[in-house]
Structure 1
Amino acid sequence: MRTAYSVETVRAAERALMARLPEGALMQRAAAGLAAACADLLGRVYGSRVVLLVGSGDNGGDALYAGARLARRGAGVTAVLLAPGRAHAGGLDALRRAGGRVTGADDAEGPIARADLVMDGIVGIGGKGGLRPDAERLVGLADRSRAAVVAVDLPSGVEADTGEVRGAAVRADLTVTFGTYKPGLLVDPAREYAGIVRLVDIGLELPGEAELEALQHADVARLLPSPAAESDKYRRGVVGIAAGSARYPGAAVLAVSGALRGGAGAVRYVGPAGDAVIARFPETLVSDAGPARAGRVQAWVVGPGAGDDAATVAEVLAADVPVLLDADGLRLAERDAVRGRTAPTLMTPHAGEAAALLGVRREEVEGARLAAARELAAAYRATVLLKGSTTLVADDGGGAVRVNATGTPWLATAGSGDVLSGLAGSLLAAGLAARDAGSAAAHLHGLAGRFAADGAPAGAHDVAALIPEAWRDVYH
């Protein structure tokens, strides 16, 4: 599992470690890892041209010491100082002794244009509010150059704790981060600025409670249900799907397709699209008697393609089993009905739906996804799966937010969310907690999307068909 910690936690851990180490030792550890990562990216250090964009803080010091290491290996290194009087003195001295050059921002255009690698040491993890004009100009020069851009700890201009980007920011090819991941490296929109992220261990001792968790294959494998010898379809769980309408029968079919591949033993369908569901999936248990009389289930999925059927949404929310609320169900559900539930609720909005529920503009949710997921979970006393290029799963009780990035932009296709809802609902019925069901479903759904697309467009039905392959991939 990858974990990300807040700036405050990281700084406390750094202070504790520095108190036990010789002065400057921690920065030297970071610089050694940074220089090694840059050398790997360059391939051949001797004769390469490296430009350091150096701010006034320790981030600039890391860049200067790393630059000195590269200079000693034969690279031509030029440090561009944004605040010449406040650059890290020890790092600056080390670079000069190694043969590096130092210049001001006004003379940076030529060195950057000729550079093979530009190292971003402008602002550290405490930076907020975008870049100042002098730094923005240098970043623009780097963007227009042929150089690879390496960010030190975090791309300058992105906010470490929130993943927000409030103005101009560095777009890195590689980010070398120290001690632990920072939330902004794992959450969009900041994540897309980070490029490939390489973690350098500098010996930090961090507490158990992280801000973010990113599940890996092994973590998901431990969560997924596996039938035992004595299992039957009812012991494995039954998921109910209340979805679709005369106008949107396909939503019901797609939700059922995800549910059938999600680990539960059986799928009950309730709604007006029964004929379409049976024609495609004859193993489905179909009822037209309404949710309360459909038969026993261990979880419900309600909302995909439901149109204006508020009565069915209300009936499902009244059930004393876990409920996944998606699509039209999010719009039709009474807030108090969700807040008053005693059984778990998993809400699965995209940014537009989350914005409508929070009463804000979509752009506000997209710009501050972590805050939006947490706020929505608290407001509805539910677990929230906020869909997007990085999917977030937040519990109403706080704690670490789960983040998933296994998906692909090709998943932005009609019906993909319906498949995800069925899959997550089936995991709920199989006994997973809402946070685990949402996290595991997002991981599998993203993998299935990658397998289905393979660099080309894919439909939602293609994604559903490859969930078993994603499941097997998690175990191998």
Structure 2
Amino acid sequence: MRGAWTSARVRAAEEPVLAATPEGALMRRAAFGVAVQAAELLAEHTGAVSGRRVALLVGVGNNGGDALWAGVFLRRRGVAVTAVLLDAERTHPAGLGALRRAGGRTATGTVAAAALEHADVVLDGIVGLAARGPLRAKAAELVEHVSAPILAVDMPSGVDPDTGVTSGPHIRAERTVTFGARKPVHLLNPAVCGSVHLVDLGLELDSPDVYALDAVDVGLHWPVPGLADDKYTQGVAGIAAGSSTYPGAAVLAAGAAVLATAGMVRYVGPAAEAVRAQWPEVVATGSVADAGRVQSWVAGPGIGTGSEGRDTLERVLADGVPVCVDADGINLLARSPTLFDARDPATPLVLTPHDREFARLVGDPGSDRVGAARRAAVDLRSVVLLKGNTTIVAAPDGRVLANVARGSWLATAGSGDVLSGLVGALLASGMDPWLAAGCSAWLHSLAGELAARGAPTSASGILAAIPEALRGIRVQQAHREY
């Protein structure tokens, strides 16, 4: 897993390293890493490094100093470097002096605009970790003159480092070089960061504030049958979903559980005929009481918010096995919080709301979706999977995982029903609920991308792409092991 740490924790971890290192040494190490990536970017876009032009957008403080020292290293490779100073009086003095001695130039006013317009690559050294809010007017005006690829120093300016939120003008980088550790913005809003490259500064940091999975992580944890497994040892997932009005929710959730390699899927509800017609391997009955033994439940998609749906949810929560609650189930919990009392507090519970369902349940998540999901997980003693283009999975113990969707193909009716079926299958296998939710979100996104292939798709298409997605992660895991 990749990890990211908040700006406050990174700054605290830097202090002992800075105290034990000669003055300026860490900055020069960081800047050298920036220069290496800037040279690669030049070569990619122009076919050469020497003789090309780089402009530095230089703010005050150490972030500007990093950019200036990167300019020094680029000058040594024959790059023409012009530093556009946003505040000449407060520019990092050592970095500015070194750049001038190396033959770099500085620019303001119309000369600065021309330097930005004619640059082959631009380095964003406007603000660093301490800054909050959008770019100020002067910086935003200068950025308007940039058409070249931008390399961000540590993080794109104008983006919140801890939430990834943009509230106004900001940098959109093609590449970012960060120092010491990734920050949450790199995982929460990769669209503004581009590819992220880490320069190791020897920081001592413990558990990350935000995690992100990759294909190998998901492949490593996804359950596959062993030689001694049978349908029961692989896990039996129960699906309480659908109604006469919404039979499709049951078909999609049950199908996802089947394709996710649950050993057996039991369905309860009014849509049994539709489920059996599509998935003959599913054992379908009319009620939770008649379902037989399961290792997990999925409850909520399409069950309605009337008394029948409420009774179903209450029985499922009281069954003593891990439960994933989605859609109408979340609305029922929001309307009748006493339903939570049906569940033994020690029984794992995964809630999968989108933003509006989350608002009904605990209030508007606001811009800090990580903080909102983390608080809700603690308050509700549940794993909370807050859906969105960046899905947040928070556990009651404080762990947070972020999964960024591959496009917007999942924004289609029934997509959430597929996700809940995946979660239910992994819960039935005995997987840690936080990891089960995270792996499901990751695979769900991949299936959406595979189903779409550059064009809009449907929940049925996403469902059908699950086997291909699973084959893909297994292949990547095998290659890594080999």
Q: Give the TM-score normalised by structure 2.
A: 0.92
Question: Following TM superposition, by how much is the alpha carbon of 1:285 offset from its aligned partner in structure 2, in angstroms?
Answer: 0.4
* Distance of 1:441 and 1:450 partners within structure 2: 14
* Distance of 1:228 and 1:419 partners within structure 2: 25
Is the 1:373–1:393 Cα contact (8 Å) retained in structure 2?
yes
1:275 maps to 273
Alignment of 1:305 with 2:302, yes or no, is yes
* Distance of 1:147 and 1:221 partners within structure 2: 38
1:108 maps to 112
Question: Following TM superposition, by how much is the alpha carbon of 1:217 offset from its aligned partner in structure 2, in angstroms?
Answer: 2.4
1:6-155 → structure 2 map (5 Å cutoff): 6-43=6-43, 44-104=48-108, 107-142=111-146, 146-155=147-156
Q: CA RMSD in A?
A: 1.7
Q: 2:208 aligns with which of 186, 207, 210?
A: 210
Question: Following TM superposition, by how much is the alpha carbon of 1:434 offset from its aligned partner in structure 2, in angstroms?
Answer: 0.9
Q: 1:287 aligns with which of 270, 278, 285?
A: 285
1:156 maps to 157
Question: Following TM superposition, by how much is the alpha carbon of 1:356 offset from its aligned partner in structure 2, in angstroms?
Answer: 2.4
Paired amino acid for 2:340 = V
Paired amino acid for 1:341 = D
- Aligned to 2:470, what secondary structure does the other structure show? helix
Q: 1:265 aligns with which of 263, 266, 274?
A: 263
More displaced stretch, 173-182 vs 130-139: 130-139
What does the per-residue CA deviation read over 1:91-133, in whole Å, with 9 as the maximum and x for residues that have no partner? 1011111111112356422111112111110110111122222
* Distance of 1:407 and 1:76 partners within structure 2: 37
2:418 maps to 419
Paired amino acid for 2:273 = D
Paired amino acid for 2:445 = G
Paired amino acid for 1:449 = G
Question: Following TM superposition, by how much is the alpha carbon of 1:199 offset from its aligned partner in structure 2, in angstroms?
Answer: 1.9
Paired amino acid for 1:56 = V
What does the per-residue CA deviation read over 1:324-357, in whole Å, with 9 as the maximum and x for residues that have no partner? 0101110012334336532000011112221222
Is the 1:82–1:105 Cα contact (8 Å) retained in structure 2?
no
Alignment of 1:391 with 2:391, yes or no, is yes
2:453 maps to 454
Question: Following TM superposition, by how much is the alpha carbon of 1:81 offset from its aligned partner in structure 2, in angstroms?
Answer: 1.1
* Distance of 1:173 and 1:231 partners within structure 2: 47
What does the per-residue CA deviation read over 1:374-419, in whole Å, with 9 as the maximum and x for residues that have no partner? 1221231110111122221101221x31112353311222111111
1:153-302 → structure 2 map (5 Å cutoff): 153-187=154-188, 190-207=189-206, 209-288=207-286, 290-302=287-299
2:480 maps to none
* Distance of 1:335 and 1:201 partners within structure 2: 47
* Distance of 1:221 and 1:341 partners within structure 2: 32
Alignment of 1:465 with 2:464, yes or no, is yes
What does the per-residue CA deviation read over 1:222-243, in whole Å, with 9 as the maximum and x for residues that have no partner? 3222323232211221111111
Question: Following TM superposition, by how much is the alpha carbon of 1:88 offset from its aligned partner in structure 2, in angstroms?
Answer: 0.8
The alignment-based identity, stated in percent, is: 51
* Distance of 2:340 and 2:173 partners within structure 1: 42
Question: Following TM superposition, by how much is the alpha carbon of 1:421 offset from its aligned partner in structure 2, in angstroms?
Answer: 0.5
Alignment of 1:358 with 2:367, yes or no, is no
More displaced stretch, 117-126 vs 406-415: 406-415
More displaced stretch, 14-23 vs 172-181: 14-23
2:337 maps to 335
Paired amino acid for 1:127 = A
- Aligned to 2:253, what secondary structure does the other structure show? helix
* Distance of 1:126 and 1:261 partners within structure 2: 47
Aligned pair in 2 of structure 1 residues 417, 322: CA closer, same or farther (>3 Å)?
same
- Aligned to 2:132, what secondary structure does the other structure show? coil
* Distance of 1:201 and 1:415 partners within structure 2: 43
* Distance of 1:238 and 1:225 partners within structure 2: 13
* Distance of 2:32 and 2:414 partners within structure 1: 48
* Distance of 1:437 and 1:128 partners within structure 2: 34
1:5 maps to 5
Q: Where has structure 1 moved over 4 Å in runs of 4 or more?
A: none
- Aligned to 1:411, what secondary structure does the other structure show? coil
Paired amino acid for 1:441 = S
Is the 1:81–1:105 Cα contact (8 Å) retained in structure 2?
no
Q: Can you give the 5+ residue segments of structure 2 that lack an aligned partner in the other structure? A: 476-482
Aligned pair in 2 of structure 1 residues 50, 467: CA closer, same or farther (>3 Å)?
same
* Distance of 2:344 and 2:384 partners within structure 1: 15
- Aligned to 2:124, what secondary structure does the other structure show? strand
* Distance of 2:440 and 2:432 partners within structure 1: 12
Paired amino acid for 1:307 = G
2:479 maps to none
